Amino acid sequence: MRRLVLPSRASIAALALLAGAALLARLLGLPLGTTAVAAGAVLAALLVLAGVDLWRSLVLWRADGLRVERRLPAAFAIGVPTELTLAVVNPGRHAWQLQVFDDLDPVFDFTGLPRALTCAAQTSQPLSFQVTARQRGVVRLGRTQLLWRTRAGVFEVRESVGEAQSMRVYPNFAALARYAWLSGDRRLAQIGIKSFVQRGQGTDFRQLAEYRRGDPLRHLDAKASLRQRKPVVREYQDERDQSVMFLLDCGRRMRADEQSAGAGENSHFDDALDALMLLAYVALSEGDEVGAMTFGSAPGESRDFAPRKGLGTLHALMNRMHDVQPGAHHSDYLAAAEGLMRRLRRRSLVIILTNFRDEDAPELQPALRLLRQRHLVLLASLRETALSRLAAGPLDRPEAAATVASAHLLSQARQDAFARVVDHDKLSVDVEPQALAASLVNRYHQVKRAGLL
Q: The domain spanning residue 371 has which CATH number?
A: 3.40.50.410
CA atoms within 13 A on the CB side of 373: 13
One domain for residues 385 and 289: yes
Confidence of residue 188 (pLDDT cuts 50, 70, 90): low
Distance CA 239, CA 242 (A): 7
Whether 439 is in a domain gets the answer yes
Q: How far apart are CA 150 and CA 8, in angstroms?
A: 9
166 with 51, same domain: the answer is no
Q: How many Cβ atoms are within 10 Å of 330's Cβ, its own excluded?
A: 12
In a domain, 351, yes or no: yes
Reported as a single tens digit per residue, the pLDDT across 330-371 is: 889 999 999 999 999 999 999 999 998 888 888 899 999 999
| Residue 182 clears pLDDT 80, i.e. is over it | no
Q: Quick one: pLDDT at residue 197?
A: 46
Contact between 269 and 254 under an 8 Å Cβ cutoff? The reply is: yes
CA 350 vs CA 225, 376, 450: distances in Å: 42, 6, 16
Comparison of pLDDT for 98 and 233, the residue scoring more: 98
Q: What is the mean pLDDT of residues 136-152?
A: 91
Same domain, 180 and 302: yes
- As a three-state string, the secondary structure of the chain is CCCEEEECHHHHHHHHHHHHHHHHHHHCCCCHHHHHHHHHHHHHHHHHHHHHHHHHHHHHHHHHCCEEEEECCCCEECCCCEEEEEEEEECCCCCEEEEEEECCCCCEEEECCCEEEEECCCEEEEEEEEEEECCCEEEEECCEEEEEECCCCCEEEEEEECCCEEEEEECCCHHHHHHHHHHHHCCHHHHCCCCCCCCCCCCEEEEEEECCCCCCHHHECHHHHHHHCCCEEEEEECCCCCEEEEEEECCHHHHCCCHHHCCCCCCHHHHHHHHHHHHHHHHHHCCCEEEEEEECCCCCCCCEEEEECCCHHHHHHHHHHCCCCCCCCCCCHHHHHHHHHHHCCCCCEEEEEECCCHHHHHHHHHHHHHHHCCCEEEEEEECCHHHHHHHCCCCCCHHHHHHHHHHHHHHHHHHHHHHHHCCCCCCCEEECHHHHHHHHHHHHHHHHHHCCC
Report yes or no: 263 and 358 within 8 Å, Cβ to Cβ: no
Percentage of the chain lying above the pLDDT 70 cut: 89
* Residue-averaged pLDDT of the chain: 84
Residue 25 falls within a domain, yes or no? yes
Domain that holds residue 226: 211-237
**391-427: per-residue pLDDT in tens?**
777 877 777 778 888 878 888 888 888 888 888 888 8
Give yes or no: residues 335 and 345 share one domain: yes
pLDDT at 196 over 60: no
**Same structural domain, 19 and 122:** no
Q: Looking at the domain assignment, is residue 1 inside a domain? A: no
Find the angle CA(4)-CA(10)-CA(15) to the nearest 5 degrees.
Answer: 95
Inside any domain, residue 407: yes
Residue 2 lies in a domain: no
Q: In terms of domains, do 34 and 159 share one?
A: no
Whether 107 is covered by a domain: the verdict is yes
Number of domains making up the chain? 4
Are 332 and 229 in a shared domain?
no
Distance of CA 73 to the CA centre of its chain: 14
Residues 110 and 180 in one domain: no
Last residue of a domain, one of 26, 47, 64: 64
pLDDT band at 149 (very low <50, low <70, confident <90, very high): very high
| 24 and 72 both lie in a single domain | no
pLDDT at 394: 80
Strand partners, 232: 210
On whether both 420 and 306 belong to a single domain, the answer is: yes
Q: Give yes or no for residue 62 having a pLDDT over 60.
A: yes
295 in the same domain as 407 = yes
> Sign of torsion, CA 253 254 260 261?
positive
Q: Tell me the per-residue pLDDT of 262-313, one tens digit each, with 9 for 90 and over.
A: 444 567 888 898 889 889 988 998 889 999 999 988 888 889 999 999 878 9
70 neighbors 86 (Cβ within 8 angstroms)? yes
